[in-house]
A and B are shown apart, each in its own frame.
Chain A
Amino acid sequence: MTSAGIVVFPGSNCEQDCMRSLAALGASPQYVWHAESALPDVDIVVLPGGFAHGDYLRTGAIARFSPVMDAVRKHAEAGGLVIGICNGFQILCEAGLLPGALRKNAGLKFLCKWTEVRVENATTRFTSRARVGDVLKIPINHFEGNWYSDPESWRRIRDNGQVVLTYVDNPNGSLGAVAGLCNETGNVMGLMPHPERACEATLGSDDGGVILRSMLDHVRDSVA
Chain B
Amino acid sequence: MAFSAQVNVMLKPGIADPQGQTIERSLPVLGYTGVRDVRVGKRIELQLEAADEGEARDRVTEMCDKLLANPVIESYEVTIQ
Contact = CB atoms under 8 A, between A and B. Distances in A.
A binds B: yes
Interface of A: 57-58, 61, 65, 93-94, 100-101, 103-108, 148-150, 173
Contacts of A93: 72
B68 interface: yes
Contacts of A173: 16, 18
A103 B22 contact: no
Interface of B: 11, 15-16, 18-19, 22, 67-68, 70, 72-73
A148 B16 CA distance: 10
A57 B68 contact: yes
The binding surface of chain B is classed by DSSP as mixed
A150 B68 CA distance: 20
Contacts of B68: 57
Most buried by B among A103, A104, A105, A108: A103
A94 B18 contact: no
- Chain A contact residues: helix, strand, loop or mixed: loop
Contacts of A100: 72
A61 B72 contact: no
Contact of B67 (A61, A103, A106): A61
Contacts of B67: 57, 61, 65
5 contacts: A61-B70, A101-B70, A101-B72, A101-B73, A108-B22
Contacts of B70: 58, 61, 94, 101
Q: Report, nearest first, the 8 A-B pairs whose CB atoms are least far apart.
A: A101-B72, A101-B73, A108-B18, A101-B70, A106-B18, A58-B70, A148-B73, A104-B18
Q: Which one of B11, B22, B72, B73 has the highest number of Cβ atoms from chain A below 10 Å of its Cβ? A: B72
B19 A104 contact: yes
Contacts of B15: 103, 148
A89 B29 CA distance: 38
A153 B67 CA distance: 21
A150 B72 contact: yes
Given A65-B67, A106-B16, 17 more contacts: A58-B70, A61-B67, A93-B72, A94-B70, A101-B73, A103-B11, A103-B16, A104-B18, A105-B18, A106-B18, A108-B18, A108-B19, A108-B22, A148-B15, A148-B72, A149-B72, A150-B72
A107 B19 CA distance: 9
